[in-house]
Amino acid sequence: AQRVTQPEKLLSVFKGAPVELKCNYSYSGSPELFWYVQYSRQRLQLLLRHISRESIKGFTADLNKGETSFHLKKPFAQEEDSAMYYCALSGSRDDKIIFGKGTRLHILP
Amino acid sequence: EPEVTQTPSHQVTQMGQEVILRCVPISNHLYFYWYRQILGQKVEFLVSFYNNEISEKSEIFDDQFSVERPDGSNFTLKIRSTKLEDSAMYFCASSLSGGYSGTQYFGPGTRLTVL
């Protein structure tokens, strides 16, 4: 079954502390993994994707095929990072994106 | 920067009524999608559309749903006879290319409330 699991509904982190948002996936084949972010009152937007191996706004994510994980990390949280974060995947021939339920990240001052 | 737009932002309808949700994708994009998010649940894929036909659809996208690209700019989702469980946020997205190589850009969503 194709599935994305984000175990935390809410994560509260103090400003300046490291952030790790967990994501595990289930997919038969080699999917592309994404992180989408939705800031308050804004649209869903792509934060980063595995294939591009970029660091966006200080966030990185490493694909661990053995553990089928794609955790999102940032060494020092900033208040503007408060948002809803969705882990997602897509198959190589698929058009659809399969989303996790999302984790609300709340950065405490 | 070009964006996907959606109208209306909020639609309230009575059960059994037909609704049409409208989207204007980014102008040079070729692939179009609808997703929905029921309150408290995950964003779910409904349908993808390319070259004037449906390329993929989910189990949710039954005979009550249809999509259309009536002109060169709009992309619509029609629900023929709305049910209470159709209440959700509906997101349109578009991409320049398909598959996972194409980045999907999302609209702001239309909140559909079925009474």
Strand partners, A41: none
What local confidence, expressed as pLDDT, does residue A39 receive? 94
Using DSSP's 3-state secondary structure scheme, residue B71 falls into coil
Q: In this complex, is the C-beta atom of B89 within 8 Å of any C-beta atom belonging to chain A?
A: no
Say how many C-beta atoms besides its own lie within 10 A of residue B25's C-beta: 26
Q: How far apart are CA B58 and CA B47, in angstroms?
A: 6
Q: How far apart are CA B74 and CA A19, in angstroms?
A: 40
List per-residue pLDDT tens for chain B, 115 residues long.
889 999 999 999 999 999 999 999 999 999 999 999 999 899 999 999 999 999 999 999 999 999 999 887 899 999 999 999 999 999 999 999 887 778 899 999 999 999 9
pLDDT of B40-70, one tens digit each?
899 999 999 999 999 999 999 999 999 999 8
What local confidence, expressed as pLDDT, does residue A69 receive? 95
List per-residue pLDDT tens for chain A, 109 residues long.
789 999 999 999 999 999 999 999 999 888 899 999 999 989 999 999 887 777 789 999 989 989 999 999 999 999 999 999 999 999 877 779 999 999 999 999 9
Angle at A48 between CA A42 and CA A54, to 5 degrees: 140
Contact at CB, B33 and A96, closer than 8 angstroms:
yes
Q: In this complex, is the C-beta atom of B109 within 8 Å of any C-beta atom belonging to chain A?
A: yes
Using DSSP's 3-state secondary structure scheme, residue A79 falls into helix
The DSSP annotation for B70-108 comes to -SSS-EEEEESS--GGG-EEEEEEEESS-GGGSPPEE--
Residue where the block lists tokens 């749903």 = B65
